[in-house]
Amino acid sequence: MGNVADELREVKRSRYAVAAVFAVHGAVTGSFATRVPWIQDHAGVTAGQLGIALAFPALGASVAMPLAGSVTHRFGARNALRGLIALWTMSLVLPSLAPNLLTLCLALFTYGATAGMADVAMNALGVEVENRLDRSIMSGLHGMWSAGALVGSAAGTLAAHLGSDARLHHVLAAAVLTLVGVLSCRWVLDLQPAEDEEPPPRFALPPRSALLIGAIGFCAVFAEGASLDWSAVYLREQLETSAGLAAACTTGFTLTMAVARIAGDRIVDRFGAVRTVRASGVLAVLGGLMIVAARQPAVAMAGFALMGLGIAVVVPLCFAAAGRSGSNPSLAIAGVATITYTSGLIAPSAIGMLAQATSLMVSFCLVTLLSCGLMAFAGVLRPGERATISKPDAAVPDPRP
């Protein structure tokens, strides 16, 4: 029994280590986002050119994500995550060093490529720990990502307020986050491929199961991207609120998502992934209807809060389902991640183009319509048989009677 308890402690320790890596990943994103205006001025690019450059992180991630499986197979899960999270944290420095549009695009491509591969590696490890514990943890892990993003953006906001050089800020942030990320990887599960296991292809299209799961993630991330980038504009232009109240709406949406993700695992364990996502879809659609029908700022803000509550746990559950959907979890997770990154890339521009042709209210009608997809297609998240810790070939036997 002592050996069983030790191995169970190892898995639980890995859970907290992976959670720390998620927080580090989010903190890098938050640190970068708050200094985009400084980076734009330093590179001397226009708003239109900046929009082009900001497409390159998603492009880099989409190209690199399918490579994560072969990297993990070659170096093992722990070493792969340690190397990829270090590359990601250090790449934070690159955009602030770019003196022109071309170098900024190259820097952001690298930034996105390392982000995407680290994202796949940490989600794959999170799914493995979830399977061995036989209870939901992915929502909480993504909640830690959101919490890290909030911390990183708060630090970036302070640095910008003090007028600090983003190069110095990002060097210091990268040093701290690299140290925390690499040290945290010391306690993640050291998964190694079996001796007779064939290495995955260096590049492959995602399996069909990942496409179906990714479609749900696409709907959720589209709503998330639209709300994050356009909620403040919606309140300013549609409801003529103050800039402060509009900004508070975006902050409230972000906080709602973070809290819902951290609390989401208990709900998933109690009601299951399918019922949770269907209920989430109802909340998201309700929120969308409140937004488009709002005549008062409070109603729209409540709608965005409901939207955040509704979509918060969907993407974590998509990653968890992808990890159990076939014989190659890394490839499935990479496929889902690629689809969700693509959705995050196109959502803000799609909302903007539709708003220009019609109105922002019509744009959020589209968001509400896509949110219906959460209810309609939640069944594809129905879990298969988990690789639980009671299985004889798992690292941790189940101590329960």
Q: Can you list the domains of the chain with their CATH numbers?
A: 8-187 (1.20.1250.20), 204-383 (1.20.1250.20)
> What pLDDT was estimated at residue 2?
60
Q: Residue 79 burial (CB < 10 Å; 0-12/13-18/19+)?
A: middle
The tally of CA atoms less than 13 A away on the side-chain side of residue 381 is 28
Global confidence as pTM: 0.83
Annotate 280-348 with three-state secondary structure. Answer: HHHHHHHHHHHHHHCCCHHHHHHHHHHHHHHHCCHHHHHHHHHHCCCCCHHHHHHHHHHHHHHHHHHHH
> What pLDDT was estimated at residue 386?
44
Query: Cα separation of 358 and 363, whole Å?
Result: 8
> What pLDDT was estimated at residue 67?
87
> What pLDDT was estimated at residue 81?
96
Residue 127: other Cβ atoms inside 10 A: 27
> What pLDDT was estimated at residue 202?
58
> What pLDDT was estimated at residue 117?
94
User: Is residue 7 within 8 Å of 189, Cβ to Cβ?
Assistant: no
Query: Cα separation of 384 and 392, whole Å?
Result: 18
Q: What is the DSSP letter of 118?
A: H
> What pLDDT was estimated at residue 388?
38
H or E element, residue 361: helix 360-376
| Average pLDDT of adjacent 10-residue blocks, the chain of 401 residues | 74 94 94 88 88 85 86 90 97 96 96 94 92 91 91 87 92 97 94 68 66 92 88 88 83 86 93 95 97 95 94 94 77 86 82 88 95 93 52 34 31
Query: Cα separation of 300 and 267, whole Å?
Result: 26
